[in-house]
Chain A
């Protein structure tokens, strides 16, 4: 059983409780041990880096140091926390001077960060460490060709980290296909959902979310799967307002990918935090419960294997 230091991030305490529950449930069912960090702190989220870099790095470094103390790699389900932790790890390794400053601050807490561990997003752990093939083997409840739009959002792939595919990554699609669902191909899968723009420019943020919802719907999505609490909120909570603003009629459930994966792995909706949706997911659950299993594979999988 592989162990990770699990950093949930602030949102998962309350707003995204269902992400927290379903992430842990999936990990359990995939024989992963997620040890939540004791006494973790907020990563500074999107805004803080622009205000005080040194302090923001220190915030993330503290969490990383806690994980390093356990000799574990860190995994986080939030795309924003992931980006902050990932780049703190990389920057500290590159910038000895910065590392020294930060470690000076961490000393107050009897901590030190040497940068010996890695930072992963939850998707990476499932797709790379466990592997899509393995997940496919563990699926007990096929998602019956449910049309799921994988929404990467902007922060998992950007900024570019290494030589990874940033323009058309496929691992989220592969994961969805492994559950028996059909991944929806749509162009805006990595576009920003508006993020915290909502606070400063509501109209512009709505327009971004609208484009995304429209593009996913145009390509036949029955549900959008997210991997970030911020994306989930922007796409789900504001659907009504977006409908009013643009005269649209969106009513598409926005679920965490772990909720769908969890269903495929045999967990009950309750174990996965279902029930708090603002846009009802009952149609989704109904399709999955529909016992008649379909053999249609996703077009991508068919393409890749032919």
Chain B
């Protein structure tokens, strides 16, 4: 039976037509065997372009369609729907990418035309072997997993829980809250961070639709959109949360003090059994066994002795819990750039050089100094403070990107320092970036009222090597002031480094665990940078907040809510249609060798002992193709990726005579 193929070549404005001779291409394609019609058009994806295809299907009785245009990533769904509307099974359609794979990456027009021909020829050959398929419809589990309990994760969890669906909120630390819980005030309104955050934490902690799993981490994720199975390790708190009332007596009585490098950013102490801060959610403490005297030396147990409810449990072990969810939102946030990587700024060597999180704790009324801005000696109030912008950001030696929040954060610090100490404040900046709502007004306000001096220039170094009168005992900031064109040495008492935001140190592993990608900088990659910023290339896995890229609290909250809306939308549909790309075993050909059985990453293959052959469960199969390649008897076929389809596509590509190749740059 011969097929009637229609070939449609898109100009994409000048995107394709500027490099590829589309008229010649469509003329050539019209001559290919089995091709009934070939056309080129300005914008195939426009409604007029799509109508063109629909009309041909109906009027010319096309049985196969090939569109040579952008990429399946962008418009496969568009053209499949177009076929479907005209009554053609959408899987009888094939796309040739002559924009991403040709016009955007090829300068030589002759070569571009040849490569386009090869790709179209491959698509035409393949589409003839395509089979009509029906999408697989599966139910969506309405439960949702949110990973990371910072402001982003909390917002997402609350939105979904309020919509009536169940959320598992998994947080690595003993309490939810994330970085926002560490801050003093928030820009641009300077409202107290805890005051606006803790009500949300409390709601998340008490919401009937939220299961909070703190001091926990996701270990394993199986399945696919609508049907994920998740394994979570709950680290042993050594506190029985059924009995604990959160009274805090254990913490009071614990004799072991430890520097708190997480919540207090190394500025304060905590006990070996502790809740990181008074408003922690949940209120139950955790025991740090690395530092607990009992675990290290075998004696103490003061906490156990004083706990009024007998909740301390030294024998408690890690627990692994497993549950099913339909969708996942990742909101794992950021790590602070390690200022030690820039030794010339003296962080870690010069006592009164602070990073930005340390300053947040210093300025926080609940922090180690009760909110007093004083030097490391614990008493001296600084009379002059230098705040250095862009530390580790916008610098090809460290991170090339702008961390987006640190200009505003530096202005906030300038104001707080001035307010608390009256010190002379200097801000050292490269550019001031205050683009969002009410941000530039905040900057103008600081400029006008706070007597902060703004020095434009990248700081060369911070040193205690005094040279000039007045420098003795000070930190000297050496900077080129690019507005007056002079080198300056500015002695100050305290330096604050506005360190950039970095992806979590384990972002790559977490991305791998959830089957999503990371950018070169290791931020999680969204499906589309502009039009689909919270979805990922993996269906059912969403990203929100700073783990996707630097942003402030309002934007993080917006993304958390957006991801929640996407999930709620999916869950409301109750079902999701999956690509019918599945493998199946031809029992006639199967020799029963069982080689395929343990190859399947989704455990979809079982062995039928009575029949002596292997069988694939289509509900579990994800169409990855591993078994197809593994079967020595060639008994397994992957639908939409059959041998006939792949081989004929290769044949089609090779059939086109390719001329002189362009030298490939090494």
Contact = CB atoms under 8 A, between A and B. Distances in A.
Interface residues of B, number: 7
B465 A168 contact: no
Contacts of B343: 165, 167-168
B467 interface: yes
B342 A167 contact: yes
A186 B467 CA distance: 13
Nearest to B467: A211
A168 B467 CA distance: 20
B369 to A, nearest CB: 28
A187 interface: yes
Contacts of A165: 343
Contact of B464 (A167, A168, A187, A211): A187
A187 B465 contact: yes
A187 B342 contact: no
Interface string B460-477: 000111010000000000
Nearest to A219: B465
Interface residues of A, number: 10
Of A167, A215, A218, most buried by chain B (CB within 10 Å of CB) is: A167
Contacts of A187: 463-465
B236 to A, nearest CB: 31
Contacts of B344: 167-168
A27 interface: no
A188 B342 contact: no
Contacts of A186: 465
Contacts of A167: 342-344
Contacts of B342: 167
Nearest to B343: A168
A167 to B, nearest CB: 4
Please classify the interface of chain B as helix (H, G, I), strand (E, B), loop, or mixed, using the class held by over half of its residues.
loop
Contacts of A211: 465, 467
A99 to B, nearest CB: 17
A31 B247 CA distance: 70
Contacts of B463: 187
B72 to A, nearest CB: 39
Q: Is the interface of A mostly helix, strand, loop or mixed?
A: loop
Nearest to A185: B349
Nearest to B465: A187
Contacts of A188: 465
Interface in B597-632: none
Contacts of B465: 186-188, 211, 215, 218
Nearest to B344: A167
A188 B463 CA distance: 9
A94 to B, nearest CB: 13
Nearest to B345: A167
Contacts of A214: 467
Contacts of A215: 465
A187 B344 CA distance: 9
B480 to A, nearest CB: 16
A183 B592 CA distance: 72
Nearest to A186: B465
Interface in A139-183: 165, 167-168
A1 B460 CA distance: 43
Give the one of B343, B463, B465 with max A CB within 10 A.
Answer: B465
A192 to B, nearest CB: 13
A208 B467 CA distance: 11
Nearest to A160: B397
A128 to B, nearest CB: 20
A215 B467 CA distance: 9
Nearest to B346: A187
A89 B344 CA distance: 29
A154 to B, nearest CB: 13
Interface string B60-100: 00000000000000000000000000000000000000000
A214 B463 CA distance: 15
A165 to B, nearest CB: 8
A165 B343 CA distance: 9
Contacts of B467: 211, 214
Interface string B329-367: 000000000000011100000000000000000000000
A188 B344 CA distance: 11
A104 to B, nearest CB: 25
Nearest to B350: A187
Taking each of B342, B463, B467, which has the highest tally of chain A beta carbons within 10 Å of its own beta carbon?
B467
Interface string A201-222: 0000000000100110010000
Nearest to A214: B467
A211 B344 CA distance: 17
A269 to B, nearest CB: 33
A218 B463 CA distance: 14
A289 B342 CA distance: 40
Nearest to A187: B465
A167 B464 CA distance: 15
Interface in A10-26: none
B642 to A, nearest CB: 49
Nearest to B342: A167
A183 to B, nearest CB: 15
* Residue from A168, A187, A218 whose CB has the most chain B CB atoms within 10 Å: A187
Nearest to B340: A168
Nearest to A168: B343
A227 to B, nearest CB: 20
A168 B462 CA distance: 13
Interface string A185-198: 01110000000000
A25 to B, nearest CB: 34
A26 B521 CA distance: 46
A165 B463 CA distance: 18
A214 to B, nearest CB: 8
A167 B347 CA distance: 13
A187 B464 CA distance: 8
Nearest to A165: B343
A186 B342 CA distance: 17
Nearest to B349: A168
B443 to A, nearest CB: 31
A47 to B, nearest CB: 24
A69 to B, nearest CB: 28
A218 to B, nearest CB: 8
Nearest to A163: B397
Interface in B416-472: 463-465, 467
A214 B471 CA distance: 14
Interface string B8-23: 0000000000000000
A283 to B, nearest CB: 25
A215 B464 CA distance: 10
Contacts of B464: 187
A165 B344 CA distance: 11
A187 B342 CA distance: 14
A214 B466 CA distance: 10
Contacts of A168: 343-344
A215 B463 CA distance: 12
Interface in A213-238: 214-215, 218
A138 B464 CA distance: 37
Interface string B257-292: 000000000000000000000000000000000000
Nearest to A188: B465
A186 B349 CA distance: 12
A123 B342 CA distance: 24
A88 to B, nearest CB: 23
Interface in B464-505: 464-465, 467
A212 to B, nearest CB: 10
Interface centre among A168, A211, A214 (most CB of B within 10 A): A168
Interface of A: 165, 167-168, 186-188, 211, 214-215, 218
16 contacts: A165-B343, A167-B342, A167-B343, A167-B344, A168-B343, A168-B344, A186-B465, A187-B463, A187-B464, A187-B465, A188-B465, A211-B465, A211-B467, A214-B467, A215-B465, A218-B465
Given A167-B343, A186-B465, A211-B465, 6 more contacts: A167-B342, A167-B344, A187-B464, A214-B467, A215-B465, A218-B465
The 6 closest A-B pairs by CB, nearest first: A168-B343, A187-B465, A167-B343, A167-B344, A187-B463, A215-B465
